[in-house]
A and B are shown apart, each in its own frame.
Chain A
Amino acid sequence: MMTAQPVPQTKPTTKYRSQFRIYVDIMKVIQREQNEAKPTRILYGANLSHDRLIKYLSELKALDVIQETGSEEKVYHLTQKGIEFMNNFRKVEMFAEAFGFKI
């Protein structure tokens, strides 16, 4: 007899997924900070080590979803492409959550 069970809030993911999730977490922190986040805020907000933060920030810059400004104290912003991606991601999240799937 099958029994329905609540969908867990977190789940282990593949390497690609965890990388993707980190990308999204970084972009969410920038979005939360009114699209103007310093590296320290991102580091704590996305729960990353300094080395990994540098790596992911440069990857996101290469993807053209975030941009860096400031010379002495760096500040990160979402680009138009990044904002559009986050809007689409929110819709995907809502759609999946409606069916009880966590992404």
Chain B
Amino acid sequence: MEFIAFVIAMAVGFQARKSYTLIRERTLLYLSTCFILIGAGLLVESLADLTVLLNRFHRGFLFLSGVGYTIDFFAQALAYCILIFAYLKQTRAWSSQLTAAIPILFFEHNAFSELILVFLLAYIAAQTAINYSVSKTTNSLLVFGAFASLAIAHVLFLFFTIEPIFFPLAHIAQLFGFLLLLQMLLRVNKAQ
């Protein structure tokens, strides 16, 4: 599931990069960096998990799962901060708000790290909801749905520390979010 999400994140990242190359708009560069970081984090985590799985959960390889998760967390946190920065920069009210967001980046515990991602994603989901309420386009609705699903996924990852059943549900929610982004990407590329 994470590998599919990685492919979609990279596709969105490269579309943003291609768009940036065409018109040199910096917000597109931020968007591209954001999704390439998310994709890289997902790839590292899925490769680490795959290594653990292929070695049949051998004790010597179990630490890789933690390494993969940590790298993925920092990649995602940085990516969502970049996206929030892009939104705040466009609304020209970023400096004080961004300063308030930075100190919370340095938690390492899983539950706290998920909470940070939930917080960042909730902000992005709220921003994309407002964008949808203004533009009323299907594409902006898909982007809102994607970030809302990703926020829900991280809420479920948070609950996973209490109840294991939430783990597959979180992955399904995450995949659903990336599939919505894929649909948006396909719609944009189909447009004449």
Contact = CB atoms under 8 A, between A and B. Distances in A.
Contact of B27 (A5, A16, A20, A101): A101
A4 B123 contact: yes
A91 B16 CA distance: 11
B128 to A, nearest CB: 6
Contact of A100 (B19, B123, B131, B185): B131
Contacts of B176: none
B128 A101 contact: no
Interface residues of B, number: 43
A98 B28 CA distance: 12
A54 interface: no
A99 B13 CA distance: 13
B91 A98 contact: no
A16 B24 CA distance: 9
Q: Size class of A's contact patch? A: 20 to 34
Contact of B22 (A6, A89, A99): A89
A91 B189 contact: yes
B163 interface: no
Contact of B24 (A3, A20, A89, A90): A20
B191 interface: yes
Given A2-B101, A5-B91, A90-B191, A98 B126 contact: no
Interface string B93-135: 1000100110000000000000000000001001111110111
Given A7-B87, A8-B90, A94 B188 contact: yes
Interface in A67-103: 87-92, 94-103
A55 interface: no
Interface in A1-23: 1-8, 11, 16-17, 20
Nearest to A7: B90
Contacts of B51: none
Nearest to B120: A2
Contacts of B184: 98
Contacts of B90: 7-8, 11, 100-102
B97 A2 contact: yes
Contacts of A100: 87, 90, 127-128, 130-131, 134-135, 140, 143
B25 A103 contact: yes
Interface string B1-33: 000000000000001100100111101100100
Interface string A24-59: 000000000000000000000000000000000000
Interface of A: 1-8, 11, 16-17, 20, 87-92, 94-103
Given A95-B188, A100-B131, 5 more contacts: A7-B90, A87-B192, A98-B143, A99-B140, A100-B90
9 contacts: A4-B87, A7-B130, A7-B131, A17-B25, A92-B23, A95-B16, A96-B25, A97-B137, A97-B139
